[in-house]
Amino acid sequence: MRWKLGLILMMAAIFVVAVAACGEDAEEMVEEEPMVSRLATVQERGHVICASRNDVPGYGSLDANGRNVGFDIDLCRAVAAAVLGDAEAIEIVLITAAERGPTIQSGDVDLLVRTVTWTTSRDAGWGNYIHTTFYDGQGFMVSKDLGVSSAYELAGASVCVTSGTTTELNMADFFRQNNLEYNPIVFEDTDVVLDAYQEGQCDVFTNDRSQLAALRSALPNPGDHVILPETISEEPLGPVVPHGDEQWFDLVKTVIAGIIYAEAYGVNSGNVAAMAAGDNVKVKRLLGTEGSFGQETLGLRETFMQDVINSVGNYGEIYNRNLGPEGIDLPREGGRNALWANAPCTDCPKGGQIYAPPLR
């Protein structure tokens, strides 16, 4: 009899706790948590946290002094300079390709800049894509002595790829569409993919063309490898911010637009002070000495672009330093990654696709 009483008591207790726990959930779901903006969080923290990489020259790697350098890293620095006035106030979190989605979904980083291709399902599921900062496409690299001249001759090959990438999925689509038999080998780390390719475990290495070029330049005999002419996909690369904070989303968009217009207006890290004192209205608006293009709404200083350009440079400088002549030497002029036009000259287009919303 007594143990039955105990049993009933215990059941009652479990029920009460379960109801309490659920009730608590329901309450918290309804009640809006007091929203602390990401901008305020970053300013209080004193640095910007960016998820990136250090294994591909040009995009994200370490220089001789162990400093993070690269195109993606510089975009992170530009945001830090805009928000905090200090381009060095960054923390780089190293992640693998497959970790990119979960990392940005968790909201633990402020910015994801790790050669991330903009796709619709990622935009829906991962975070908000800012802007395309580099137009890429997927290609194949093979050893020259195999005598392959086209991707359509790759039947029977063993192909290495990094996991969790659009390249992995595009590769599957390409071989399936063209009815080519192949053997995919999928690795977690780009380093290991490169090892397997160099040792000939796989005949083909597939990745974005610019990354292939960058990685080829780091091989012992770059001339022994050829990148096949076919481009099998669109790979627009750009930074991503977490869902849920529109001010931060717009802020990063504005910083990227700022560095693109800085190049278009001819403002670079060497002439910021002179240009700010000059008489071009658009330039003065960009540099915050006259008018405004939304700095106040975004929570930024009027002159934030001066800090950005002084420390990181304009889009062209960032490109040249990392991907251009001073970096891995990808051609730019005449290609898709040239500016659309050198403003304010609107009828002298340069034909590229790098373009940003007007700063007004």
Partner 1 sequence: MNRLLYVQGVPFWRNVVVLRWAVQIVSAVLVIAVIAGFFGNVSREIAARDIPFGYGFLDREAQIPIGESIIGYHPSDSFAYGLLVAALNTVKASVLGVILATLLGIVVGVSRLSPNWLLNRIALVYIEVFRNIPLLVQLLFWFLIVLSLPTVREGYVAFDAFYLSNSGVNLPWPVPQDGFWPWALITVIGIVVAVVVARRLNSRETETGKPSYPILTGLAIAIGVGVIALLILGPMTIDVPSPEGRFGRLQGGAELSGSFTALLVGLVMYTSSFIAEIVRAGIQSVSKGQTEAARSVGMSGILTLRHVTFPQSLRVIIPPTISQYLNLTKNSSLAAAIGYPDLVSVASTMTQTAPAISLILVVMLTYLAMSLTYSLIGNLYNRAIRFKGT
Task: Give the pairing type, strands 127-129 and 240-242.
Answer: antiparallel
Site string for partner 1, 48-87 (x = CB under 8 A): ----------------------------------------
Read off the amino acid at residue 336: R
Question: Is residue 178 within 8 Å of residue 152, measured between CB atoms?
Answer: yes
Alpha carbons 182 and 283: distance in angstroms, whole number: 54
In the bound state with partner 1, the residue whose beta carbon lies nearer, of 169 and 341, is 169
Both structure tokens of 245 = 């904070």
The tokens of 250 are what?
């717009």
Q: Is 102 in the site for partner 1 (CB under 8 A)?
A: yes
Looking at the DSSP bridge assignments, the partners of residue 52 are 94
- 22 near partner 1 (CB under 8 A): yes
CB 162 within 8 A of CB 189: yes
Per CB under 8 A, which region of 9-17, 288-296, 302-310, 329-337 contacts partner 1?
A: 9-17
The pair of structure tokens assigned to 355 is 């373009």
Q: Does 345 interact with partner 1 (rule: CB under 8 A)?
A: no
CB of 351 to partner 1, least distance (A): 33
Q: Does 18 bind partner 1 (CB under 8 A)?
A: yes
Does residue 44 interact with partner 1 by CB under 8 A? no
- Looking at the chain, the number of H-run helices and the number of E-run strands are 14, 14
Counting every residue, how long is the chain? 360
Closest CB 84 distance from partner 1, rounded Å: 25
Cα–Cα distance for residue pair 225/305, rounded to 1 Å: 42
Structure tokens given for 321: 């330093």
For partner 1, which residue of 46, 200, 222, 334 counts as binding (CB under 8 A)?
200
Instruction: Give yes or no for residue 36 binding partner 1 (CB under 8 A).
Output: no
What does the block give as tokens for 296?
């106040």
Q: Which stretch binds partner 1 (CB under 8 A): 187-195, 218-226, 231-239, 252-260?
A: 187-195
Q: Which of residues 244-283 bind partner 1 (CB under 8 A)?
A: 244
What DSSP state is assigned to residue 264?
H
Q: Using CB under 8 A, list all residues that contact partner 1.
A: 2-3, 6, 9-10, 13-14, 17-18, 21-22, 24-25, 28-29, 33, 98, 101-102, 105-107, 121-122, 124-125, 146-148, 153, 155-158, 160-161, 163-166, 168-169, 171-173, 175-176, 183-189, 192, 195-196, 199-201, 203, 242-244
